[in-house]
Structure 1
């Protein structure tokens, strides 16, 4: 795991360092789509193609995930279920009968940024 700053421009530098090593990863999972967008930029600047050279997965299903090329594979929250759960919790606390909070499981949204890893080409 590599820590990256939340600011996308700063995250590009962290991603660039990760992609510059001789034994670079074949895929990157980012804990937000904004970090994934930083990886897209760092990959482009390094001459890497997504997904041929590097698969990228984000998290959030940001509205821009469909606008990048290729579209970003990401995990989406069921926002309606989260809001419903929060309202149920609040209502339960107010009337003295707190409800059990259901588990929230993100949904995988597959787009064009992922593929089966290819054999690495020797780097010089």
Structure 2
């Protein structure tokens, strides 16, 4: 989290305009639906925010993408969605296109393959 805060602060200090804010907002939206480490920058998002486009253009790109790709179902990724007709896609929040929940994913947060069983139990 400190690494992320440093990146945003430096972007605000070095860049003209408010593209840093757009990156911050979009990164936080992504973090709310995906379980990725805060220290890992999203280079694609960074380039779209800081490539010289005006803030209005940058926001329009993200609004279009948000409409096309809704966030995955959080309950499904935890193991069980109670809704018969869910408005969120039932896809893995880690490896995205897969039709399993995060709790069954073989890819950990760093994008590396893990064992077939991932326990969510943590001793007190």
Give the TM-score taking structure 1 as reference length.
0.24
Which has more helix, going by share of residues?
A: 2
Which has more strand, going by share of residues?
A: 1
- Bigger radius of gyration, 1 or 2? 1
More contact order relative to length (CA 8 Å, sep ≥ 6): 1
